[in-house]
Structure formats: C-alpha cells, structure tokens
Structure 1
Amino acid sequence: MKKISSVFSSLQDKLHRDKGEKKVLSPCTDAPPPPDCNPSLGRPPFFEYLVVVSVRKRTGGDEGYEPQIIYQFPKSCSQSQRRDEETCLKAITLFCFPEGVTWAPLTEYRSETFSFVLTEIDGSRRNGYCRRLLPLGKGARPPEAYCIISTLACFSLFSKIFDEVEKRRQISMAMIYPFMQSLRETAFPAPGKLSLSRASSPVWDRDDHLTRPVDSWLEHVEFHSLFQCLSDEEVLQVFAATVLERRIVFIAEELSTLSQVLHAVAALLFPFIWQHTFISIVPKVLLDVYLAPTPYLLGIQKNLLHLLTEHTDLLIVDLTSQSECKFISRVGDEDMLIPSRLQEELLQDLCKRKHNASTEELNSVVSEAFLSFFVKTVGHFANHIKRSGVNKQLRTFQKKNFLKAVEPKENRNFVKQFVQTQMFDLFIQEEEKLPHHEGFFHRKIVEFQLKKKEKSKTGVIKGLVV
C-alpha cells in the first residue's frame, strides 16, 4: 500500500489553517477513568481505540460543521506517544465524516457500517471500523460515528461489537466502558477461534458470540455487495483492470457499499496483494489523490463525482443500483485483457453459487474461482525458481523460461503483462526467500497438477475445491 500517513497531517493543516492550536478532546465526564492504554498483555490488544465522533458547528465565526471526537477510550498515552496518537485521531475524524463540512442537523438518518485502512510510514496497517447513526434525542441533531481502530481485520466481528456498543450508548456513555475494557483484555483470537461469549465474559450478555472466520484472508471480506452492484461480466472487467494495476475509482452513495466492494475487489487478487494506493473511502479534502499517475483503488461518494474532471486512462465504476451504465469512464479494453477461454471458465465457476448463498458459501465459490484462475495462469512459477550457491541457498526466478512455459499459448500475452506488476514482483521476491514452497496457494497448485494428470486422457480438468 502506498504510504499516505503524511498526507493526513497536511490536510489537517488545510482544514484548520489560521484557527490556532486545537485542544485535545477528552472523553465525556460520565465515563470512569480508563486504565493505562498499553496493558502488559504479552500479545496484541484486541483494539487500540474506540472513539465517538460528532459533527459540531465551527467556532470563531466560520461557517459549516467539522467532525470532533467527543469520547475516546482509552485516554491519551504517554507524552512520547501523544503526537503520533493525535495524528491518528485527526485522520479518524476525516474518514468518519469524509463528506467534509456540509452537514446540517437531521431528524432521520439510516445507520451504516463501513471500514477504512490507515497505512503508516513503515507500511504497517491499522483497520478502522465505523458505524454512523443518529443519537437518541428530540428534534434535529447531528449524527454520530463510533469508530474502532484495530490491527485485526474482521468486518463481521466488529459489526457485532458495534451492535453491543450502540445498545449501551442508548443507556449511557458510561455503559460502554466496562464492555470495551473487557474486550481489550480479551485474547487476540486465532482464525476460527472463539473470542467472546456469554460464558467467557460477564459483560457479554448476547446469545451470539464473537468468532474469527477460519480463512483469515477472507475475514474482512463480504462478496455480496460486489455481486449485487455488478454483473459477473462486469466483475471480471474490474478484476482484469485491478490485476494489471490500473487506476480505478468506485462511486456509490453509501459508505458501506464503497468499503465492502473495495475490500472484495482486493480479495480477488489472493494470493497476490495490492501494492499501491488503497483508500476505500476518500475524504473530500483528499480528493485530488485521484489525479495521481500511479495505480490506485479509490472509493468516492457519488455527490463528489462532479469534482472528477479528468478521466483519461481511468476506470470509473458506478455502484449505485439505479445506474444504467456501470462504467462512467473506461480505457476501453477491459473486456479483452483476460483471454476468452479463461473468462468463460471464470463465469462458469461463478455460476455455481446459490442465489441465497450465505456469506461463507459465497466466499467459498468466489475465492475458488479466482484462485483457480491464478493457479492456471502462473501456478508453474515454482518450477522456474533456480537454486544455486553454497548448499543451493541462493534462489533466482527465471522469468524468461517461466514465460515460455505458459500454456496454453493464448494466455502468454496476459501473463507477460501480469509479471510486470508490483504485486507479482513482490510475490516472487518473497518466494525466493523461502527454503520450501508451502502454503495454501501451493497446495492448490499441487491439487491442480494432480487432477490435470488424472484427466489428461479426456482433456477435462475439474475445478478446484477450496
């Protein structure tokens, strides 16, 4: 991911220029004093922060509204950590209310849950989970956003946590504290393991429980929104542009749609990882990022679409349900990037999903289809990592021989383009460091090769089972 943390500070300066030094906002007074924010747990905390952000009228005669933190758990850390923390918290407010200052009090507002990613200078990532809603009260009032920052990527798990936080907020802000403290002291769950239940915690009184999905690379992904917004053929065109690292903007009215679709598109690349700018929800003040010449995946609200005046070499995907044409702007070759035979096989695999499939069932069918695509196109890479040197510890990828070995030949042009991407380059660099080829992708390659041998007489290769 491209490092964008430094942008947060500059855009905050832009927002608050000439307003003087801002105060550090404290939690509401009805909350008990939290403990030290770095407990000696011997493991990563379940989350780093819970903040509640509201939009308030600007002071000093300025017009409009601005997002402000009205509650934070835990409180500020040590003095040495405070500057980094303040930068992070300022960024959080922008992503909770990316529309900018054009807010007004409301009497009705449909709550929505979405997520974003904060990428630090060192490349580390923190996930932001946000639920926006209208707080209890009478008359017109501004919305609030609950935001949790965690290194754990699991959208469905944190959605359940928000359900509990929202229920407690309706009673009192102080009711949030014991629950979040209990959660913070809970062990960082392994994939497929229970993390919080009625039996494990006195503050969790719900019938359901919190569990991380077994497939950790899919735990932040729900493919439903992607396939509700786009047809299978349109998904393939988006996938083709993504896998060749192009500039793509997604447009939607709802923040939840943007975050779910962008994370779903990135998940289609497994076992490869998107290496460029990824902003699932672009704040209005950061909108100029779309002018960057480098690849990106951006999510932008539809009411900001008119501000995108430059469409050259840009794929703009409209996710709104009422849109007749899903591609507002395109390069023009998106439907030809993937060889026709591979497109047909992908479409056939996607047709296996049920109309009313659960999240787990849909994830299985979709991930199987696209993982099979990579197995077929580049699954022979391990055969072309040459070992040399003392004890054959030096490993070098033989790109030329790898490309010659691509079969069938009609796939070679696509593979030649794909090997030029940063995601493939980084993948190979990591593989060159490994003494043995192990892992989920490698097991699927072996399964495919065995099935290919078994079916060589008939020429039929059945799909993979993930």
Structure 2
Amino acid sequence: MILRSKPRTPKGKRPGDSRRESEEEIVTRSLQKQKVRARHYRRRTLEERDKYMAAMCGTSPQLFDSVLIVSLESTNCCGEEPTRKPTITYRFPEDKNAEHVPAELFFPDYSRAQRKTWAREEFVLALTDHSGARKNAYCHKFLPTWDDNKNGTYPAVLAVISPIRNAVFYLDLARTILKYIGRSRVQLTNFLSSIVQHSYPQNRGASLVVVEKCATGWPIRIEIFNQGTILGRTGCSQVIERISPEITTCIVASLLGEQRILLADNTVCSVSKLVQVMEALIQPLSWPHVFIPAVPDNLLDLCHNPTPYLMGILRNNLAPIHDLIIADQTGENDIDQVDFVFIDADNGLINPPPDAYVNDSGIAAWKQQVAMLYLHISARQ
C-alpha cells in the first residue's frame, strides 16, 4: 500500500491564496505598465521641450551665444582731429567665422562719450540677422580698469548675447562677469569657459550655481536665479505711469496698425526700456518688423525707413531728423510722413496728435445695433 499525503500548504497561506496572489500580480503588472508609460511620456515631453527650446534659441540650449567687450578706440583720418569709434576688443568664444555685427549697435551714444570716474548703466538691445532671427544683447556700461588715468577714462560696454528673453537673469549674469573683467582677461576667459556649456535654467526658481575657490582656500558660491520674468515685463507699470495710459494706448494702437513708431528719451537705458515694454504689451502677438531699441548716433537714416518699425532714439539726436518730426502729417505728397508716429516720453508729446473722441449719435446707434444683434443671436440659440 502506498500512502500519499496531501501537499502541504506553505505556512501562513491558505489554499485560496493562489487566486489572490495572481490578482496581486495583475495589479502589480498594471502599476508597472503605468510607471513605464509615465516614464515614456515624461521622456517624450522633455524631448519635445528641448526641441522647442532649441527652436526658440536657434541653437542647442546653452547659457549664452557670445560675450563681447566694446571699447572706444581713437582713429585718425587724413590729418583730422582724432575721433573715437566703438570697436570689439574682446570676443568669447573666438570664432573667426562669426557674423559681423557693427560695434555701434552696442554703444548707441558713443559720439558723446566723455572721460568719467564712475559710470554704470544697464540696457537691453536687439540684434536681427538677415533671416529675421532675433537675439538680445544684455549690456552693462562700465569703466575699464586697464586705463589708470586720474582724470577718468572712457566707458566700455559688456554685452552678453542670447536669444532667450530674460533681462533680470542675464543682467545679473553680466554683473558677475564684470567682476572677472576687473581681474584679468585670462581669468575672464577661464570663467566663461566654465559656464558656457551649462544649460539655461528654464524653470522658475532654478538657478545657475558657480563655486570658485578663492586665494584663502574658502569657496565662493555665486548663484544666479531665474525669476521667471519676461523681457519687457519688469517695471512695466512704472513706464506706463510715466508716459500716461493714454499715450500708451496710442502706441499700442499704432503697433497693431503696423505703423512707423519712433520713441524718444534722454538715455539709452530709458529709451530701450520704453521700447521693450511697448513691444511686450502686444503679446502674445509679436512685432515682426524692424525693431531697434536704441538707434546709434551714426545710423539715424534708419528713421526714414518706409517699412513699419519700432525704434527708440536719444533726444540729442532729434535735430538731424527735425523735418521728419515736425512736417505736415496730412500732406498727401510727402511719402516720408505716411504712417509715422513720434512720441516724446518725458514731455508727453505725440505727433500727429490722436483724434478726439466724439460721442455723437452715430456711435450710440451703432452700440444699439450691436446689442440688438447679440439679443437676436442669443434668442436663436
């Protein structure tokens, strides 16, 4: 006789637990599939975001495209008195095939530069290539330390070029770079080489962290935050309050009408800020035409451009275009005055003046017709 014993159930389990285990395995596999799917979607989302940032930047997502230092160099022409002209004296990275950009664009008021003992001015300019791609130049005017003249020295301009629109972050980065300019060109190049491969901190609250070991052996931590601000949005309310909401409305209406708009102010900082704010007010629409926040002293002929533009000009440069500003705006024969609008920010001057709003019976009848049409459409629905 052969005795067969029942198979023992594992300790702590019951015969019906096999079905429960299979159900738990099914749930586990389902959760695992959901995790894999979530990872896949997240990876695809990050890839699409990187593609979007690359398309927006025009290059691979990196911190900046280039860093320039523009200085005033003396030139002698045919025995005349020496004049000073902006010249790019430093470029990082050193690319001999880089597209040529006139140095005057980074130093719009160079013709009136004087020796100073202190100078600090920050402004943002725009660079547009032949294909229409726009980049931003975050500029910081400073006094170079390599000129030890007791009577002062001519200022220079540091420009950080990037297609990304974030003035707060990049102007803070320019201040950090400025510290290394005061040391030596070698340390400046080493610092830029160490951060150029870093990607732009895209998320709000993210930061760029730089740790440097000082001479005493203690580390120095530099952290530059991305506050999520968009170029032209910072200080927007102060600009509107300064020039009045009425004039702001006229400028926005002129932008939507694709006219030629010229804004005047005293300094490069104020006029470029004014132009950037006005361009930001029409977002999410964009301004696809000529866009120059500050016209250089030697390029005033751009104001006679017949195509739509939004440009800023220094008040000191208004004399050469006097005829363009004060000419009869209603003259049909003067093509130069067609769709031209001039606004003086400080004096509140706008030429041609906007038409006064007339509250006549025609407008009241139009409002009544619109109201009746709305009621008729609502009744049919």
Please give the TM-score of this superposition, normalised by the length of structure 2.
Answer: 0.67
Q: Deviations over 1:365-409 (max 9, x none)?
A: xxxxxxxxxxxxxxxxxxxxxxxxxxxxxxxxxxxxxxxxx9984
State the distance in 2 between where 1:257 and 1:228 align: 14
Greater C-alpha Rg: 2
**Counterpart amino acid of residue 255 in structure 1:** V
2:13: which partner in 1? Answer: none
* CA–CA distance in structure 2, aligned partners of residues 304 and 297 of structure 1: 16
1:153 CA displacement: 1.7
Cα distance, 1:407–1:87 mapped onto 2, change above 3 Å: farther
Counterpart check, 1:242 vs 2:255 = yes
Q: 2:76 aligns with which of 21, 40, 59?
A: 59
Q: Partners of 1:209 and 1:330 in 2: how far apart?
A: 45
2:106 aligned partner: 96
* Match runs of 1:176-325 below 5 Å: 176-192=188-204, 194-197=206-209, 201-202=211-212, 205=220, 208-211=223-226, 213=228, 218-222=230-234, 223-308=236-321, 309-311=323-325, 312=337, 313-320=339-346, 323=347
Whole-angstrom CA distance in 2 between matches of 1:177 and 1:298: 34
Tell me how far apart the structure 1 counterparts of residues 253 and 298 of structure 2 sit (CA, whole Å): 30
The Cα shift of 1:119 comes to: 1.2
Task: State the number of aligned residues.
Answer: 285
C-alpha deviation, 1:168, in angstroms: 2.2
Is 1:126 equivalent to 2:135 in the alignment?
yes
Helix, strand or coil at the partner of 1:248: strand
Aligned-pair CA distance for 1:303: 0.5
| Paired residue type of 1:317 | I
**What letter matches 1:155 in structure 2?**
A
Distance 1:129 1:111 in 2: 14
Could you list the runs of 5+ residues in structure 2 that have no partner in the other structure?
A: 1-58, 214-218, 326-336, 361-366, 372-377
Cα distance change of structure 1 residues 231 and 101 upon mapping to structure 2, 3 Å threshold: closer
Query: What does residue 175 of structure 1 align with?
Result: 187
Is the CA contact (8 Å cut-off) linking 1:225 and 1:261 kept in structure 2?
Answer: no
Residues 130 and 145 in structure 1, CA contact (< 8 A), matched pair in contact too = yes
Compute the displacement of 1:314 (Å).
2.8
- Superposed CA RMSD in Å reads 3.1
Residue 23 of structure 2 aligns with which residue? Answer: none
49 and 336 in structure 1: CA distance in 2 versus 1, 3 angstrom threshold: farther
1:135 matched to which residue of 2?
A: 144
The equivalent residue for 1:327 is 349
1:145 aligns with 2:178: no
- Tell me the secondary structure at the aligned position of residue 130 of structure 2: coil
Q: Distance in 1 between matches of 2:156 and 2:223?
A: 26
Shift in Å at residue 237 of structure 1?
A: 2.1
CA contact (8 A) 2:63 2:200 kept: yes
Q: 1:220 and 1:47 mapped to 2: Cα distance?
A: 19
Q: Give the drift of 1:296.
A: 1.3
Structure 1: runs of 5 or more not aligned: 1-41, 341-405, 411-455, 457-466
CA distance change for structure 1 residues 245 and 50 in 2, over 3 Å: closer, same or farther? same
| Percent pairwise identity | 24
| Paired AA for residue 130 in structure 2 | I
Q: How far apart, in 2, do the equivalents of 1:304 and 1:208 lie?
A: 40
Bigger proportion of residues as strand: 2
Matched with 1:116 is: 125
Structure 2 CA distance, aligned partners of 1:43 and 1:284?
Answer: 35
Give the SS at the match of 1:310: helix
- Report the Cα distance in structure 1 between the residues aligned to 2:274 and 2:111, rounded to whole angstroms: 26
Aligned to 1:437: none
Residue 90 (structure 2) aligns with: 71
How many angstroms apart in 2 are the aligned matches of 1:149 and 1:205? Answer: 26
User: Could you say if the C-alpha distance between residues 119 and 182 of structure 1 is closer, same or farther in structure 2, counting changes exceeding 3 Å?
Assistant: same
Aligned counterparts of 2:260 and 2:90: Cα–Cα separation in 1: 37
Structure 2 distance, partners of 1:327, 1:147, is 32
CA displacement at 1:299 relative to structure 2? 0.5
Contact 1:99-1:284 at 8 Å conserved across structures: yes
